[in-house]
Amino acid sequence: MDIDAIRRDIEYRRMQIGRQRRDILQLQRLGIASASAEALLERMLAKVDELCAERDRLKVENKRFYPGTSKEIRGAKRR
């Protein structure tokens, strides 16, 4: 998986996490048990943490340096 795909996946999963949090709050307001929904939220958060670690690892691997120096070539910024 390339770094751009991982970034898109992280963004998508963060939106899902927001929806899940809203659903949990709604369940709690209605007085319905939300333990299973909270467990799902924890798994979702753990997966995002894994993806962030993978993204950071790929960022370090993909750094380029000027020949003979430790100065990083940055180039154009991605948005």
Instruction: Report the C-alpha gap between 68 and 46 in whole angstroms.
Output: 40
What's residue 78's pLDDT? Answer: 64
pLDDT of residue 16 exceeding 80 = yes
Q: Within a 10 A sphere around the Cβ of 68, how many other Cβ atoms?
A: 6
3-state secondary structure of 28: helix
Instruction: Report the C-alpha gap between 54 and 65 in whole angstroms.
Output: 21
DSSP state of 73: E
> Rounded to two decimals, what is the model's pTM?
0.77
What's residue 79's pLDDT? Answer: 63
pLDDT digits (tens, 9 = 90+) for 17-64: 999 999 999 999 999 999 999 999 999 999 999 999 999 998 888 777
Would you place residue 12 in the very low, low, confident or very high pLDDT band (cuts 50, 70, 90)? very high
